[in-house]
Structure 1
Amino acid sequence: MSDDRSGDEPPRSVLVTGASTFLGGYLVARLAANPDIERVVAVDSRVPTKNLMRRMGRADFLRLDIRRPTIAKAIANFDVDTVVHAAPSIMDNVEHSAAIKELNVVGTMQVCAACQRSPSVKRLVLRSSAMVYGAGPSDPGFFSEGTPARKEPRRGYGRDLIDMEGYARGLSRRRQDIGVSILRFQSILGPRIRTRMSSYLSLPVVPTAFGRQARLQFLHEEDALAALEHSTLHPRPGTFNVAGDGVVTMSQSVYRAGHLKLPVPGSLISPLVGVLQNGRLPGMRSEHTPYLAYGRVLDTTRMRTDLGFEPRYSSLATLDDFIARGKTEPVISADTWRGLEHQAVAAATRLQ
């Protein structure tokens, strides 16, 4: 994807898919509040909550299924020049199923096909995820955008992402006048959004991989929204890792929340999470175990130099804000942990 399609002129008419989701809906609200954008079109097969609908303000809401050709009619009727595809379900709070795969893969195929046929569309922003890289013991210290996964996902959300990004790149090749931006988000945390990772870290007792120390990065919900907004207003074609600075270990993540680790064999993590959540959310599946055991860290150089985006929150600050303002309750208070840390340091000093 060459940089001659970036363009700095502001979008005139923007269509956002996934308007009933946190990222899609609040992005619509931000864009609708921008007086430089003439029209904002919000699309989803589900009606957003009343609170979210109020926040969307002047945006036009269309209840339609992106898996159907009607998405092309919407683009044509509103003379859309920028499409933000935020609808893909990416390991949020729903179990992966045939219906989810169809929404992700067939929906993205229809969106890209509609963009290709439309003479008005000049930009596509695709919400993707770092899950496309997979996870494993032989992974590099940092994944750059050009680094292939050590073990390509063959099923689940990871497989969906590979197919979705493939359709977006195919659009870029067939319509070289359309700038395509693919944002690979790291694990999103925040006080409002609900994801599998937020549910996992909210468990009072957190099953972790025995003998492993996963290296994690986080992306704050506000930075995820800001990155989508930035890419809409200041498009730069290409693929970009998006994550907060720094690395946080799994132990740090659990202990800072005031929770307890339960080291178990990797094969037991998924069923244990399901039991401990008591059916409130789908448990972690076996495909997620490598990530919980080894983690995944992204190189975000291109995010800063080429995309021109800088997150406000580091990975650690994201975790702390999630703990401070989210719904997780500590089992052991921060003061208790600090006391234990001081005791450990003092004991280590006496032994030297």
Structure 2
Amino acid sequence: MGSAGRVVLVTGVSRDLGRRFARALASRPGIARVVGVDAMPPRGDIGDVSFVRADIRNPVIAKVIVKEDVDTVVHMSVIATPGAAGARNAAKELNVIGTMQLLAACQKAPGLRTLVVKSSTAVYGASSRDPAMFTEDMEPRRPARSGYAKDLSEVEGYVRGFARRRPDVRVTILRPANVIGAHVVSPLTSYFRLPVLPTILGFDPRLQFLHEQDLIGALEHATSADLAGTFNVAGDGVLTLSQAVRRLQRPTVPLPTFALGGLGSALRSSRLADLSPELVALLTYGRGVDTTRMRHDLGFEPAYSTAEAFADFAAPLPVTGGRTQRVLDRVARSLPDPEPALSVLPAPGGGRRG
């Protein structure tokens, strides 16, 4: 199908990345219209995007797709971060039920030609049995029983089912690594913004990042490229957690895993961060994904490496201490083993990039 005059519906535009992607897409040649859909209006300028207030969990979304003559859907509302603390059930409903309703609507749309779904490398989980690098064909070593990773697994299963039922529709699933940037609010970016970082005693996990601009670029590329399939998307290279902490010039408190439950509650009630079981697993075991298919098959190359994306995120953050340090010190003092004491990692060579 030619790309001239394409009409694209983007879900999840009330969130910053969804709004910015929809706005960027609307200015691209070959795009006739972009329709942004969400239950809440976006905060900020959406440019030439026409906004439709609709909840994708409601069957009315099918009428929007037909009425607007949509031929391309980009699904961006599978989220890791609930809108409010304790809203995990609401997030699951939006992620899974919302995707099912959206796919049912797509099923009924005879003019639909392209479906792009933003998933995440979180679908692979994080465990001690993981391979050095996950390829797109690998399953998680420990299937998720709850949380965001389970949502992703269910969502991807429904998307693959849709692809079988509608072989005339090109279906692309993107699995971005941890997206990072000044505008990104996620469990991991909230963790890195803490004045003092709790780490897992005895572990130094490898992490991969994708710059927020590269996520938008990858989604734009996937929307216009005529390629079906599932693709890991990440900046080149890896950073260990200790390297990331040094770039942030943050003090750390190494804690045993059992101490993180109480700490997580304290941070959640202070609205500072959410140390979910998934985040704790990532901060323990890390995760690496192979991006050969992204470069060779999809033909996309991120502008930022993992280290460059993290450096860009870290640059504006202030050097800190303060209230969170006192919370962490209290947790450390309450442990039976006096071993976990505050340790300030020196910044390498005084520079943040590297």
TM-score by length of 2: 0.87
Q: Of 2, 15, 33, which aligns to 2:9?
A: 15
Q: Given the alignment, which residue of 306, 310, 330 partners 2:301?
A: 310
Task: Please report how far the alpha carbon of residue 85 of structure 1 lies from its aligned counterpart in structure 2 after TM superposition.
Answer: 0.3
Give, as a single letter, the amino acid of the residue that structure 2 aligns with 1:74. Answer: V
Structure 1 residue 26 corresponds to structure 2 residue 20: yes
Aligned with 1:300 (options 285, 291, 300): 291
2:66 maps to 76
Aligned to 1:156: 147
Q: Which of 248, 264, 281 is 1:257 aligned to?
A: 248
Q: Which residue among 208, 213, 224 is the counterpart of 1:222?
A: 213
One-letter amino acid matched to 2:271: R
> Which whole-Å deviations, capped at 9, do the CAs of 1:160-190 have from their partners, x for residues lacking one?
0011001110110000000111111111110
- 1:64 aligned to which of 33, 54, 63: 54
Offset from partner CA, 1:288-332 (integer Å, 9 cap, x none): 32111010010000011111110000010011000113x44356x
SS in 2 for 1:157: helix
> What are structure 1's unaligned runs of at least 5 residues?
1-6, 342-352
Contact 2:201-2:255 within 8 A present in 1 as well: yes
Which of residues 46, 49, 57 in structure 1 aligns to 2:40? 46
Unmatched tracts of structure 2, length 5 or more: 322-343
Please give the residue correspondences for 1:62-211 in structure 2 after superposition, counting only pairs within 5 Å: 62-91=52-81, 95=85, 97-211=88-202
Task: Sort the Cα spacing of 1:13 and 1:240 in 2 relative to 1 into closer, same or farther, 3 A.
Answer: same
Deviation at 1:268? 2.3
CA RMSD, Structure 1 to Structure 2 (Å): 2.2
Distance 2:52 2:83 in 1: 24
Secondary structure, counterpart of 2:168 in structure 1:
coil
Q: Is the 8 A contact 1:207 1:273 kept in 2?
A: no
Structure 2 CA distance for partners of 1:11 and 1:207, relative to 1, 3 Å: farther
Q: 1:302 and 1:340, CA in 2 relative to 1: closer, same or farther beyond 3 A?
A: closer
Q: Is the 8 A contact 1:145 1:239 kept in 2?
A: yes
Count of residue pairs the alignment pairs up: 328
Output the CA distance in 2 between the equivalents of 1:14 and 1:29: 11
The percent identity for this pair of structures is 45
CA gap of 1:170–1:336, structure 2 versus 1, over 3 A, is closer
Q: Distance in 2 between matches of 1:80 and 1:177?
A: 15
Query: Amino acid of the residue matched to residue 13 of structure 1?
Result: V
Q: CA deviation at 1:287?
A: 3.4
* 1:15 alignment partner AA: L
* 1:88 CA drift (Å): 1.3
Tell me the amino acid that sits aligned with residue 40 of structure 1. V
Find the aligned partners of 1:200 and 1:71 in 2 and give their Cα distance.
35
Relative to structure 1, the CA distance from residue 116 to residue 19 in structure 2 (aligned partners, 3 Å threshold; closer, same or farther) is same
Structure 2 CA distance, aligned partners of 1:231 and 1:120?
Answer: 19
What amino acid is the match of 1:41?
Answer: V
Whole-angstrom CA distance in 2 between matches of 1:235 and 1:22 = 27
Structure-2 residue corresponding to 1:279: 270
